[in-house]
Amino acid sequence: MSKQKILQKDNIQDILALTPIQKGMLFHYQMNADSEVYLEQTTIRITGKLSEREIEQAWSRLEKRYDILRSVFKWEKLKEPVQIIYKKQHNPFQISYGGLDGNDSLEHLMESELKDGVDLSKVPIRIRLYCTTECKYLILTYHHILWDGWSSGILMHAFKQECLNISTGNISEITPKTTPWKEYIKWLKGQKDQKNNRFWNNYLQNMEQVHDPLAWIKETSSSDGDGKYTIVLDHRELSNVQKWCKQHRHTLAGWVHAGWGLLLNRYSMQEHIVFGSTVSGRNAELPGIEQMVGLFINSLPIYVHFEDSLSVSAIVEQIEQGMKERSAYEATPLTDIKEYCGLKGKGELFHSLLVYENYPVQAESVSEIGIEVVSVREETHYDLTLIIITTNIYCWKW
């Protein structure tokens, strides 16, 4: 880990505490700064008549708008880590050039950027623009501690809008106003309540009967490496699932969570199953939170009690009811939940995580400028992570 950069004191806008989930991600970074855990990468294909300078200008305008893009993190010689928001901060573009399609070179560059990683104390975002004769690729490599999937959608929409404005000469000198990141930090501090303790203690009252449902895989597997696998549901398969959900008055989210719980139950032969589930964190009563960029997500336990007499529909209903009841307590830090249940210092509360990415997609107008996300890479520290991407198809990744 490199030495932390001396602060630009005259350039500091805010010094803020980290959210609990940011602290958790920082812990993993401190354990191994060269690890790719929580290192994310988004690659965007850009078509149309935009120069390298104009693309950099478009991103620079986003840096002015969103505080989190001007953030660095400090922890050395501090009792608690902090995130520092600079008044001005520009992450310079690295520009490379390739041939007609450049696919081989693009893949090489993406891998190289991941290998180089990021430095949270200096530049948590690496930006490379790869130019071919047909199009340009913007490769964003960043740490998940900065923003979540919902925020990625906001950034991509805003980036395309800035590119369109620049291409047409319709550039405003006024930076659009967004709710500052510090307002969410303030809101989060006021959420600790005894009701949280009572709810989670009751919800997870059978935790002493829960064991790692993935233990059998670890015991029998001969491989220590990482692996990724993708399944795509076609329109016919998805239509059948939607019909079933409608017939039984269930949601697709409930169906997906129940399916994952059933899989863990069948393979582990355990009656009590707990796995992690990511929530958006956008339920906070904060003006403009839907358009803020930052890390709002939280990972919470889903508990399922399987009995032989339960139908699939009953299992889905059990999960949906639990998710509905916990909605008022979604801001509870995972560390607090473990403490409420007497599990502090006893390892992970769950060993698999389900990420259900069902974020609102903003409609894009047809134009001469094309902005398309062609690759997204994300990784957690959990033994097994299932990522559900909902667009016009269902994509399962683990």
Q: How far apart are CA 111 and CA 97, in angstroms?
A: 16
DSSP string, 167-191: HHT---SSPPP---HHHHHHHHHTT
Same domain, 112 and 247: no
- Residue pair 56/93 in contact by the 8 Å Cβ criterion: yes
- Which residue, 4, 133, 132, 11, is CA-closest to 70? 11
pLDDT for 129 equals 96
- What percent of the chain clears pLDDT 90, i.e. is strictly above it? 60
The DSSP result for 276-288, as a single string, is EEEE--TTS--TT
Across 305-318, average pLDDT: 91
CA nearest 4: which of 119, 111, 104? 119
Which of 154, 179, 204 represents a domain boundary (last residue)? 179
Per-residue confidence (pLDDT) for residue 259, from 0 to 100:
93
81: burial class by Cβ within 10 Å (0-12, 13-18, 19+)?
middle
Largest Cα span, the chain: 66
3 inside domain: no
> Per the structure, how many domains does the chain have?
2
Decide which of 144, 179, 214 is a domain's last residue. Answer: 179
Residue 255 lies in a domain: yes
Residue 231 has pLDDT above 90, yes or no: no
pLDDT at 360: 62
The reply to whether 345 and 233 lie within a common domain is yes
What CATH code is carried by the domain that includes residue 22? 3.30.559.10
pLDDT at position 193: 74
The reply to whether 15 falls in a domain is yes
pLDDT for the residue 162: 94
Q: pLDDT value at position 223? A: 58
State pLDDT tens for residues 358-387: 766 554 555 678 888 888 888 898 888 888
In three-state secondary structure terms, 118 is coil
pLDDT band at 347 (very low <50, low <70, confident <90, very high): confident
Contact 358, 391 (CB under 8 A): no
Residue 261 has pLDDT above 80, yes or no: yes
Q: What is residue 101's predicted lDDT score, i.e. its pLDDT?
A: 54
Distances (CA, A) of 366 to 51, 349, 363, 370: 20, 47, 10, 8
96: in domain: yes
Residue 358: how many CB atoms within 10 A of its CB? 16
**Domain CATH code at residue 356:** 3.30.559.30
Residues 290 and 334 placed together within one structural domain of the fold: yes
* Rounded-to-integer distance, Cα 90 and Cα 192, Å: 36
157, 179, 201: which is the final residue of a domain?
Answer: 179
Instruction: Say whether both 146 and 244 belong to one domain.
Output: no
Q: Which residues pair with 386 in a beta bridge?
A: 354
Let me know whether 195 and 341 are in one domain. yes
- Provide the mean pLDDT of the chain: 87
pLDDT at 121: 95
**pLDDT tens-digit map of 138-184:** 999 999 999 999 999 999 999 999 999 999 888 887 778 899 999 99
Per-residue pLDDT at 395 exceeds 60: no
pLDDT of residue 238: 84
172 shares a domain with 198: no
| pTM more than 0.85 | yes
Note whether residue 2 is domain-resident.
no
User: Both 151 and 231 in a single domain?
Assistant: no
108: DSSP letter: H
What is the structure's pLDDT at 298? 95
Region 17-33: mean pLDDT is 95
Is the residue at 369 inside a domain?
no
- Examine the domain organization and report whether 247 and 140 are in the same domain: no
Q: How does DSSP classify residue 123? A: B
Average pLDDT value for residue range 258-276:
91
Residues 251, 125, single domain; the answer is no
Token pair of 394 as six digits? 């269902």
* More confidently predicted of 18 and 209: 18
**Same-domain pairing of 232 and 154:** no
Of residues 8 and 63, the one with the higher pLDDT is: 63
- The residue-averaged pLDDT of 271-291 equals 92
8 Å CB contact between 226 and 395: no
Per the structure, the complete domain to which residue 203 belongs is given by: 185-363+377-397
**pLDDT band at residue 99, thresholds of 50, 70 and 90?**
low
The rounded distance, in Å, linking the Cα atoms of 204 and 317 is: 18
Q: 241 or 8: which carries more pLDDT confidence?
A: 241
How far apart are the C-alpha atoms of 113 and 103, rounded to whole Å?
A: 15
Q: How would residue 102 be classed by pLDDT, with cut points 50, 70 and 90?
A: low
The string of pLDDT tens digits covering residues 31-90 is 999 999 999 999 999 999 899 999 999 999 999 999 999 999 999 999 999 999 999 988
Nearest one of 146, 157, 153, 139 to 377, comparing CA atoms: 139
Q: What does the pLDDT read at residue 1?
A: 44
Based on the fold, state whether residues 159 and 211 are members of the same structural domain: no
214 and 350 part of one domain: yes
Q: Quick check: is 389 in a domain?
A: yes
Is 368 a member of any domain? no
User: For the sheet containing 12-17, what is the strand order?
Assistant: 12-17, 82-86, 71-74
